Structure 1
């Protein structure tokens, strides 16, 4: 379905973003207590600590992956981006 080059680029973005999401989460929760978090309206988040850790990890991973994906996209030449065959 996807070309080997596309799969390789996806893994080159997803693996480092996975590692950095773990580092970012450790740094974040070294400063912030998950029990003190509140929604934007001021009501406390009534999730177990592990649920907060898990959701935060996936949010961090997604942000890091989007950042890496945009970097890969911006490094492509204009002929690669405007090619008719996307995969």
Structure 2
């Protein structure tokens, strides 16, 4: 289930990062980009790659936050310890850890 959830996060983020990359570089020339007043001494391909991973990282965080907020209270409060391994006081009050 966790692998499936990660694919729900990473794959749409990849697609959105690709679209952002195309939109940004349709209007921005990478050779004219500057950072803190200095020219970037990187090739066009390096700038394309770095910005893609920055866009991908930002959209992964966004998708992960959406997935986290969509979880039910049961999923959030579910005890990770199997009931046979829980301490006695945990089993009495229904809460664990």
Same fold (TM over 0.5): yes
Report the counterpart of residue 20 of structure 1 in structure 2.
16
In the alignment, structure 2 segments of 5+ residues that lack a partner are 82-97
- Work out the number of aligned pairs and report it: 81
Q: Name the structure where strand makes up a greater proportion of residues.
A: 2
- Find out whether 1:78 has 2:70 as its counterpart: no
Report the counterpart of residue 4 of structure 2 in structure 1.
8
CA RMSD in angstroms, aligned pairs only: 1.3
Highest RCO, 1 vs 2 (Cα 8 Å, sep ≥ 6): 1
Cα deviation, 1:49-74, whole Å, max 9, x if unaligned, reads 00000000001011111100000000
Which of structure 1's runs of 4+ aligned residues deviate more than 4 A? none
Question: If you compute each CA radius of gyration, which structure gives the higher value, 1 or 2?
Answer: 2
TM-score (norm 1): 0.87
TM-score (norm 2): 0.78
